[in-house]
Chains A and B, each alone.
Chain A
Amino acid sequence: MTDSLDDPVKITPLLDRHRALGAKLIDFAGWLMPVQYRGILEEHRAVRERAGLFDLSHMGELFVEGPEAGRALAHALVTDPLALAIGRAQYSMICAADGGILDDLIVYRLAEDRFLVVANAGNAQLVSDLLAERLDGFRAILDDRSLATALVAVQGPRSREILAPLTDIDLAGLRYYAIAEGQVVGIEALVARTGYTGEDGFEVFVDNARAGELWDALLAAGEPHGLVPVGLGARDTLRLEAGMPLYGNDLDPTVSPYDAGLGRVVKLSKADDFVGRAALERISADGPRRRLVGLIVRGRGIARHGYPVFSGERETGVVTSGAPSPTLGEPIALAYVAPADGEPGTMLDVGIRDARVPAEVVPLPFYRRVG
């Protein structure tokens, strides 16, 4: 459960709530987190049909502030945060000089000179260190509030009706990929209309000390609407159906944004130099050497991380994420394959133990919400 004798597992302010709700707990990225409460399939369906409540306090929250905050982030990341209007957000990545992805991120612009960068739990310290390095020379300060900030998400079609009565923020006016500061049940909060499920929803950032109050209020307000607590197990099946990559599975330092189908996120046209620019320009010009595609397994078996992918007898790639899809009723996967084998409609085979099981390349996402 511990990484080493020097790194005891971290806990969120909501651990006692998860225990009281009967959660099955696991060590995720050095944090003791709920993987499920009543069951992954039930929680997954609740989010698709009604709403789910997630403790995401393990994520990293890095504030960057100063007259050159935007310029500094444009140098550090592959996107152009200066292009964001105040109150808007963008999906981004931080890359190495060779173009390999070190983390995927959401960047929120809170003010002219103030940004919030949200990093994956497993990379929060690394991203903090990288930003500190990359901000050097710019008039910008990094304030890593990861360990002081709790994050609770409500995701699902009923999210807005659950949250609206609890906040002074006008949720109808809060567009997708926007953020606002205000109060939720009297608690100072940042409320973002972002998420990792493919449904409508809100991510609410508060100080650790208020997390329990926030969670209790959302759970109580959501109960009549069919809201249930949801763990990391269903978070993974939901994001997979939505075609969203997971760092550590689908993205890692050996993968470029172009391999992962995220080339449109890289803003090569932005004015100043940024870390990885030269390598990314070259990869963009040459074309990627592999391609991340969606697979639906058409035979009997579940494709999982690490399973080989074949085109006829030729091994063409590997599965990086795979699971049963509760919404589609068939197993789905993300896999890297040779670009020529990645056209939708192509029939490939996944090696599952001794068998070769047919799988079809399909466009992403697997699931798209209506309305």
Chain B
Amino acid sequence: MVPTDLRYTKDHEWVRIDGSRATIGITQYAAEQLGDIVFVELPDPGKALAQGAVFGVVESVKAVSDLFAPLSGAVVAANPDLAGEPELVNAAPYAAGWMLEVELGDPTELEGLLDPAAYDALIAEG
């Protein structure tokens, strides 16, 4: 069962909402599918995000995977620890492995995110 205080996307991102801000990362399922994560490329503060658009890249030993913005908004911060310790995404995908903090551009988009039960069902389908 995934954390119950978060919301999810079908692209295996999670969102923690805090007023007009949101923290974003990838789920444990995604991290396990990728294997050892060796590189994360994230946008700088101030960059605009469009829901569904590619905002960065996460790389495993063998492959490069796009990261899709779960919500529109503006980047407030990118996790500075991931440059030196990309493996944090594998070790603690919902905590120390967080990726972006975002100022929400359109709070109505939150309604379209998956709740924990819906995301659990999605990954159970495999």
Q: Do B62 and A233 have beta carbons less than 8 Å apart?
A: yes
> Inside 8 A of B115's CB, which chain A residues have their CB?
none
Q: Contacting A40 at CB < 8 Å: which of B35, B39, B57, B83?
A: B35
Interface digits, B27-42 against A, CB 8 Å rule (1 contact, 0 not)? 0000000011011010
Assuming A300-B83, A302-B38, A302-B39, is B64 touching A324 (CB within 8 A)? no
The answer to whether residues A353 and B62 also contact, given A39-B35, A302-B39, A324-B38 and a CB cut-off of 8 A, is no
* Chain B count of residues within 8 A CB distance of the other chain: 12
A353→B61 contact, CB < 8 A: no
Pairwise interchain contact B62-A39, C-beta atoms closer than 8 A: no
Q: Which of A87-109 contact B (CB under 8 A)?
A: none
Would A324 and B39 be within 8 Å (CB), given that A40-B62, A300-B83, A304-B64 are in contact?
yes
Q: Give A323 to B64 CA distance when docked, in angstroms.
A: 11
Do B64 and A40 touch (CB < 8 A)?
A: no
| A45 CB to nearest B CB, Å | 11
Report which of A233, A300, A301 forms a contact with B61, defined as CB distance below 8 A. A233
A-chain residues with CB within 8 Å of residue B57 when the two chains form the complex: 353
Q: Which residues of B contact A236 (CB under 8 A)?
A: 62
Query: How many contacting A-B pairs (Cβ < 8 A)?
Result: 34
Report A283 CB to chain B, min CB distance, Å: 33
Query: What distance in Å separates the Cβ of B88 from its nearest Cβ neighbour in chain A?
Result: 14
The CA-CA distance from A166 to B115 in the complex, in Å, is 56
Given the known A-B contacts A300-B83, A302-B59, are A36 and B64 also in contact in the complex, defined by CB atoms under 8 Å?
A: no
Q: How far is the CB of B126 from chain A (nearest CB, A)?
A: 13
Residues on A with C-beta less than 8 A from B61 are 40-41, 233, 237, 323-324
Query: Does A233 lie within 8 Å of B39, measured CB to CB?
Result: no
Q: From B59, which residue of chain A is reached at the shortest CB distance?
A: A302
Q: Tell yes or no: A35 within 8 A of B by CB.
A: yes
Kindly state the interface size class of chain A when it binds its partner.
Answer: 10 to 19
A259 nearest CB across to chain B (Å): 26
Q: CB-CB < 8 A to A40: which residues of B? A: 35-36, 60-62
Residues of B with C-beta under 8 A to A237: 61
Q: Is A114 an interface residue (CB 8 A)?
A: no
Closest A residue, CB atoms, query B61: A40
- Beta-carbon contacts of B45-87 to A below 8 Å, as 1s and 0s? 0000000000001011110100000000000000000010000
Distance from B31 Cβ to chain A, minimum over Cβ atoms (Å): 11
Q: Are A39 and B36 within 8 A (Cβ)?
A: yes
Once bound together, how far apart are the Cα atoms of A300 and B40, in whole Å? 10
Task: Report the separation of the CA atoms of residues A354 and B99 in the bound assembly, to the nearest whole angstrom.
Answer: 21
Chain A residues 1 to 53 lying within 8 A of chain B, measured CB to CB, are 24, 35-36, 39-42
CB closest residue in chain A, given B33: A24
- The residues of B that contact A24 with a CB separation of less than 8 Å are 35
Please indicate the chain A residues that have their CB under 8 angstroms from the CB of B36 in the complex. Answer: 39-42
Complex Cα spacing A42 to B62, Å: 14
A36 contacts across to B, CB distance below 8 A: 35
For the complex, give the distance between the alpha carbons of A24 and B32 in Å: 11
- Within the complex, the shortest CB–CB distance from B8 to chain A, in Å, comes to 23
Distance in Å: Cβ of B5 to nearest Cβ of chain A: 29
Roughly how many angstroms separate A327 CA and B7 CA in the complex, as a whole number?
38
Which chain A residues in 291-306 approach chain B with CB under 8 Å?
A: 300-302, 304
CB-CB < 8 A to A39: which residues of B?
35-36
Q: What is the CA–CA distance of A302 and B39 in the complex, to the nearest angstrom?
A: 8
Chain B residues in 8 Å Cβ range of A323: 61-62
Instruction: Identify which of residues 302-335 in chain A touch chain B, using a CB-to-CB cut-off of 8 Å.
Output: 302, 304, 323-324
**Chain B residues with Cβ under 8 A from A300's Cβ?**
83
Across the A-B interface, the 4 shortest Cβ-Cβ residue pairs: A40-B61, A324-B38, A41-B36, A39-B36
Residues of A within 8 A of B (CB): 24, 35-36, 39-42, 233, 236-237, 300-302, 304, 323-324, 353
Known: A237-B61, A301-B41, A302-B38. 19 other contacts (CB 8 A): A24-B35, A35-B62, A39-B36, A40-B35, A40-B36, A40-B60, A40-B61, A41-B36, A41-B38, A42-B36, A233-B62, A301-B39, A302-B39, A302-B64, A304-B64, A323-B61, A323-B62, A324-B39, A324-B61
- Can you give 6 A-B contacts (C-beta < 8 A)? A35-B62, A40-B60, A40-B62, A302-B38, A302-B59, A324-B61
- Residues of B at the A interface (CB closer than 8 Å) are 35-36, 38-39, 41, 57, 59-62, 64, 83
